[in-house]
Amino acid sequence: MTPLPMSLSNTLRQLMFVIVASLGAVTMFTATTAHAGKTVYYEATLASSAKDSTKVVKGVVWHCKDTTCKATKSRTRDAFVCANLTRKMGDVTEFKVRGEAFDAAALAKCNGKD
């Protein structure tokens, strides 16, 4: 087997780089659009504004706009998700799981004021 000419070898390397980079871009785009279609499981109202941001708190990705933050389901217990959020983002004035709000006692515990 004869070796490839140097120019052909470089062209093949460039082609492989373009293919790998394209696959990475497609994977990132697919992951982003797939997340956009997931339903909201947690919804929290913060005592102070988080502005428009995305925060990762103990593995839960929170999408915040002003004082409202939303996230998809986690494997962690709901009370821990709430408590972890308050440690990172400050007090929560309302916390909902699948549309049902925590009662006053659960919310106080979430905020560490029980």
pLDDT for the residue 12: 63
Model-level pTM? 0.66
Where do the domains of the chain lie?
A: 1-37, 39-110
> How much of the chain is helix, strand and coil, in % rounded to 5?
45, 25, 30
Separation CA 62–CA 76 (nearest Å): 14
Question: What pLDDT is attached to residue 87?
Answer: 93
Low-confidence ranges of the chain (pLDDT < 70): 1-10, 12, 14-37
**pLDDT attached to residue 73:** 94
Q: Residue 38: its pLDDT value, please? A: 74
DSSP string, 48-96: S---SEEEEETTEEEEEETTEEEE---SS-HHHHHHHHHHHH--EEEEE
Position 18 scores a pLDDT of 58
